[in-house]
Amino acid sequence: MLRAEVAVRLTTMKHEPIRRFVIACRFGAAMLGGLSMTMTTTVFAQSPSPSVAVNNWADLRATLASCWSVPPDTRGSLIAFLFGINKKGELRGAPLVTARRLQGDQDARKRFEEAARDAVNRCFPMTVTPSFGAILGESPIRLRFVNTPPTAAYQINSNITIFAPP
């Protein structure tokens, strides 16, 4: 679509359809432009990286992965959280556990859940750029810590899966 057509279309639409239209256009442009929107990116837990401003979803995934330390004897475990981040990079309330499948003995299961919670607590607040902060302020984050062999994961924007290193 030409810019003029987009401008005409935007002026004739109500707010919610405009938002959906803009999102669809951005997604289409990203897909055509070759931007990284893959759903199979594997993010592994790693050692903490230096504190730099998070500017996009890939940076956020990498930062979260750097905060997680995988406890031993928890192979096969996973835990998922739902939470919000404000535009300053701070948590909005306590993360909600939305799913958990914990393996191992009682102590191992407890260590896995604590390690995941500690990772979230250790990562926040984080430094974010103003433009990405504006996006974060409107996006619920779905974060999974997984101690299984890596598989194709749904890694678009705020859907984040972090695998334990192989």
Residues 10-42 have pLDDT tens digits of: 444 445 555 555 455 454 444 443 333 334 445
Most confident of 16-30, 44-58, 80-94: 80-94
- The rounded distance, in Å, linking the Cα atoms of 126 and 8 is 39
Q: What is the mean pLDDT of residues 156-166?
A: 88
Q: Reduced to 3 states, what is the DSSP secondary structure of residue 66?
A: helix
> Is pLDDT at 124 greater than 50 in this prediction?
yes
Is the dihedral angle over the CA atoms 84, 90, 96, 100 positive or is it negative? Answer: positive
Which pair of tokens denotes residue 124?
A: 């926040």
Q: What is the pLDDT of residues 135-154, one digit of tens each?
A: 988 889 999 999 998 888 77
CA-only gyration radius of the chain, Å? 18
Residue 20 is predicted with a pLDDT of 55
- The rounded distance, in Å, linking the Cα atoms of 3 and 87 is 29
